[in-house]
Structure 1
């Protein structure tokens, strides 16, 4: 009988104070990629999840009052990505005008919607909201 204990965390997160203040989105992407490859051995999901983290964190910076944190959770058969921002009153929405091929914006949540299993958002308290998405593992 194999009784080894797996001490690999099933949740990991970084609040904004742990991220590079000049390049928080780039660091969030990097930390996500490294964690998926080295800790959870989910390299097959790394590119897609890194892309989603980039889009969601960029939205937090541009439209959500600032990035407050990033959390990844691994549960049986599912990976959940959660991004906190500082604008709970602003509901994220898939942009209706994202069809313009020359537009430089408006595709972020469409992309999240297209590559993830599900996505959504909720307020986490008085001054933050969480935008999340899930992936099958």
Structure 2
């Protein structure tokens, strides 16, 4: 099993999301066999959404863990907030969001949110490889 852990900096959240996307692409390209292009793009999108949500709603910092299994890619984003993501009606007029968590749930085979003993939470997602 291939694994990788990435720390996402808090000082430039937009840059941190782009940096996380780059790290995910490098991780996926290093797998043997590498996931198909469409599957890889979906993993990158899910990571982008989860990291963005963690930085925006989870306290401004997060850690990203990736693991490759024979049939799946596992993504885990840890942040210091105890508040779980929630489904809400997307804001089509005010630009306040609401699209990310529903999209993550549609694109993945499973998601979970667990409280961490050290505080905060982990949002996990499993995607087909």
Q: Which residue of structure 1 lines up, in the alignment, with residue 55 of structure 2? A: 61
Relative contact order higher in (CA < 8 Å, ≥ 6 apart):
2
Root-mean-square deviation over aligned CA pairs: 1.8
Displacement of 1:20 in angstroms is 7.9
Q: Which residue does the alignment assign to 1:4?
A: none
Q: Is the 8 A contact 1:36 1:43 kept in 2?
A: no
Residue aligned with 2:92, SS: coil
Output one character per residue of 1:43-80: Cα deviation in whole Å (capped at 9) or x when no partner: 42221111111110010011111232101111231211
Contact 1:117 1:136 in 2 (8 A): yes
Q: Is the aligned partner of 1:125 residue 2:117?
A: yes
**Candidates 13, 30, 34, aligned match of 1:38:** 30
Count how many residue pairs are aligned between Structure 1 and Structure 2.
Answer: 124
Query: Do the aligned residues in 2 keep the contact of 1:78 with 1:134 (CA within 8 Å)?
Result: yes
Aligned to 1:86: 80
1:37 CA drift (Å): 1.7
Match of 1:70, SS state, is: strand
TM-score by length of 2: 0.85
Corresponding position: 1:71 with 2:57: no
Structure number with greater Rg is 1
Runs of 4+ aligned residues of structure 1 deviating over 4 Å after TM superposition are none
